[in-house]
Chain A
Amino acid sequence: MDADMTDQSNSEIKTGPAGLAGVSTEPGAKKPDPILVADNITRTFGGLTAVDVEHVEIQRGAITALIGPNGAGKTTFFNLLTGFDQPNTGSWSLEGKSLKGVAPYKVARLGMVRTFQLTKVLAKLTVIENMRLGATGQKGERFWAAPFKFLWGAQEQSVTEKADDLLARFLLDKKREDFAGSLSGGQRKLLEMARALMVDPELVMLDEPMAGVNPALKQSLLGHVKSLRDEGRTVLFVEHDMDMVRDISDWVIVMAQGKIVAEGTPAAVMADQRVIDAYLGAHHDTDLSELDEERLEAEVEAEIAQEEDSK
């Protein structure tokens, strides 16, 4: 299931990036082959409406970016879709299965796996143990089977092999036996992504995969995200790094103040006046592509640092 295959299936349903050609750029536009569909999702905190999404579809086999200024509700929307938070209203479905009220762990088992804005690697487990944890359907995770190694030893072996493959791919094999807590911020992002892949997800949801990652690692991370698409997976990610958005996304959805304000290809979106308004407020005359990226990044990093402090 790579780009070639999707081209062959053109005649029926247009899957992957190719299917996005000619899709309307209105917010909530219909996609030819949506994997995830959400309707009327609202979430309020006290008097503040954090998320108010009327309709959104995510194209299967494509990389979709979710962008927007700080406080636009992107992460909250992520939490809602993956079951980590409950919306006040709305319904959404993955591959036609409703996810409303479904517990986060079941969402993950259905094939939608997420990462977190502030990485959640298990610092006091080794890298390889982190990876093994990701594997699904482990017999040894059942209470009654757990004490008896002959029941799960073989499976553990195959899980480990798979984990080692992924670690090699993500250049973490040298860190295999280290505690995950000793990894750098960028390596943690890599580990979290690799661990998510242990679940074999259909849809990978990455919450700011580039935040805090040094430039040297960025390129390899970009490559990994692209390779996910090449394997036929769908990727939805939240990002502030406009380079990344421009480089790898097939489709961009823009949120502001909880609503989806624009959609389209990266180029189209970055030229969209609504998007510029959303980002810059008063600075109408500035082109988004000239957006003061450094300032924005600094802002995000400060935010993260602060949140980490308060933890």
Chain B
Amino acid sequence: MRKRLYRVLVALIGALMVLLVGAPVAAQATETPPPDATAIQVTLQDEASKDAEGNPKPIPGVTLQVSKDGKKAGEGVTDEKGVATIVVEELGKYTVTLDEKTLPKGTVLDENTKNEATVQVRFQGPNNRAIFPIGVAAGEQSSFAKDLAQNLRAGIVFALVLCLAGLGFSLIFGTTGLSNFAHGELLTFGAVMAWTFDQIFKTGGLATVSVILAGIVAVALGGLGGYVQDKVLWGPLRRRGTGLIAMMIVSIGLSIFLRYIFQYFYTSSTRSLSQYSGQQREQHWYYLGLSFADREGIIVLISLVTITTVCLWLAKSRMGKAMRAVSDNPALAASSGLRVDGVITNAWVIGGALTALAGVLYALTLQVNAFMGMRILLVIFAAVTLGGLGTIWGSLVGSLVIGLVYELGPLFGVPTSIKEVGPLLIMIVILLVRPQGILGRKERLG
């Protein structure tokens, strides 16, 4: 009974994921009663033609062949719900081939979609899916209002992730002046650590809180990573009097180095964190007309609490004040007896931890990938420069704007595949027109 409930839950969460993240995924498992055998499931739906309730039309009678290492491993035909379940014998990597000749007349696969999909069968049971988008491109233009709500939601979540990463960046930039090109990798680090520990915990007795524990460990490791970086690399460079530009180039080297180390150990494939098994079910919270799922609600909550705490800490605590003093004028801070080096180390630790947290949360909304940090590095840059480099409030406001632009851009004509363009253009314009950002102060000359 429990097992069955779990399966339904997983299927439900999967379906919600699609709705929530707004990713144009067409084929999706529904509530087909699953046999216990391990299987690959394919659901074929035509997103372009929907019925009265807005559900896409299923496509029955399509033949699918499954092969492993070039050998045939199974075959299936979609039923009247468009679902085909093809039993396979063992876990592993399979190729699912869709026989395009068996598609009904007038139905074609989307452009850029191959009739082959590779499936990593990782779970026992039928929850291994192959996806063949059909009519998604056409279906996308369906409802602007619905898309707006969806993208707005995704935008807010992404903005908060950016906020955390940007805060980390600003702390480090403020105290050291370093434009750290390896910042994206700090975010990736958080994500891959969360994934690793999730894998470890979920097999043990801690399965119910696996993701939460893994997240905490990842954040701690992020802080530790910041500390180690400062002690081993940046601190010695500072003491040698290495210039900022030289350090920036060093950070590029570090970025490439770390990125491929991650890829070395985690390959270039994409993984997801295990589900929140602790939740009874994924509910929606309605707020200002937006529905947030538990998962997103938790992301929003965690980030808001963290951001508030960090801001209060910067404003009130001794170390926070010292940090702001160093950001403001390192020479003056040093001459008034502050231990600048200690403050910078602190900034690295907290910056590293915040960025790792951003990585964990980002991994929850999306998936874990060795390149995830690099992809949004320039978006983080855009967020912090928009608000004003090195200013805390600036990076918060900047992140919010950029996060929304990033997710809403596609609704206003920015092609989805290149939605980074919006933030980048904003950043370029800001740097040209008002390099100190919308909230920054103009630098004093002479």
Contact = CB atoms under 8 A, between A and B. Distances in A.
Say whether A and B bind each other.
Answer: yes
Interface of A: 45-46, 75-76, 79, 84-85, 306-307, 309-310
A70 B445 CA distance: 17
A206 B180 CA distance: 39
A310 B330 contact: yes
A46 B329 CA distance: 16
Nearest to B331: A310
A75 B444 CA distance: 13
A76 B446 contact: yes
A75 B446 CA distance: 8
Contacts of A76: 446
Contacts of A79: 445-446
Interface in B410-446: 441, 444-446
B331 A306 contact: yes
Nearest to B330: A310
Nearest to A78: B446
Contacts of B335: 306
B86 to A, nearest CB: 68
A242 B267 CA distance: 71
Contacts of B446: 75-76, 79, 84-85
Contacts of A75: 446
A310 B334 CA distance: 10
A211 to B, nearest CB: 16
A176 to B, nearest CB: 28
Nearest to B445: A85
B308 to A, nearest CB: 29
A85 B444 CA distance: 10
A38 to B, nearest CB: 17
Contacts of B329: 310
Contacts of A45: 444
Contacts of A309: 331
15 contacts: A45-B444, A76-B446, A79-B445, A79-B446, A84-B445, A84-B446, A85-B445, A85-B446, A306-B331, A306-B335, A307-B331, A309-B331, A310-B329, A310-B330, A310-B331
Contacts of B444: 45
A85 B446 CA distance: 8
Contacts, number: 17
Interface string B200-237: 00000000000000000000000000000000000000
Contacts of A84: 445-446
Interface of B: 329-331, 335, 441, 444-446
Contacts of A306: 331, 335
Contacts of B330: 310
B335 to A, nearest CB: 7
A75 B445 CA distance: 11
A307 B446 CA distance: 11
A236 B446 CA distance: 18
Given A79-B446, A85-B446, 15 more contacts: A45-B444, A46-B441, A75-B446, A76-B446, A79-B445, A84-B445, A84-B446, A85-B445, A306-B331, A306-B335, A307-B331, A309-B331, A310-B329, A310-B330, A310-B331
A84 B446 CA distance: 8
Contacts of B445: 79, 84-85
Contacts of B441: 46
B239 to A, nearest CB: 14
A309 B446 CA distance: 15
A84 B329 CA distance: 23
Quick one: which of B335, B444, B446 has the most chain A CB within 10 A? B446
Closest 6 CB pairs of A and B: A310-B331, A79-B446, A85-B445, A45-B444, A85-B446, A309-B331
Nearest to B334: A309
Nearest to A311: B331
A76 B444 CA distance: 11
A16 B239 CA distance: 52
A152 to B, nearest CB: 32
Contacts of A307: 331
A45 B441 CA distance: 11
A77 to B, nearest CB: 10
A125 B441 CA distance: 35
A82 to B, nearest CB: 10
Contacts of A46: 441
A268 to B, nearest CB: 30
Nearest to A86: B445
A76 B1 CA distance: 80
Nearest to A308: B331
B283 to A, nearest CB: 50
Nearest to A306: B331
A85 to B, nearest CB: 5
Quick one: which of B330, B335, B445 has the most chain A CB within 10 A? B445
A46 B441 CA distance: 9
A118 to B, nearest CB: 11
Contacts of B331: 306-307, 309-310
A253 B278 CA distance: 78
A76 B445 CA distance: 9
Nearest to A117: B446
A207 B390 CA distance: 32
A96 B238 CA distance: 50
A85 B442 CA distance: 13
B210 to A, nearest CB: 49
Nearest to B329: A310
A307 B330 CA distance: 11
B289 to A, nearest CB: 42
A310 B329 CA distance: 9
A88 B331 CA distance: 28
A103 to B, nearest CB: 15
A79 B330 CA distance: 24
A84 B330 CA distance: 25
A43 to B, nearest CB: 10
A83 B114 CA distance: 63
Nearest to B441: A46
Contacts of A310: 329-331
A6 B441 CA distance: 50
A85 B329 CA distance: 21
B445 to A, nearest CB: 5
B107 to A, nearest CB: 62
A124 to B, nearest CB: 13
A309 B332 CA distance: 10
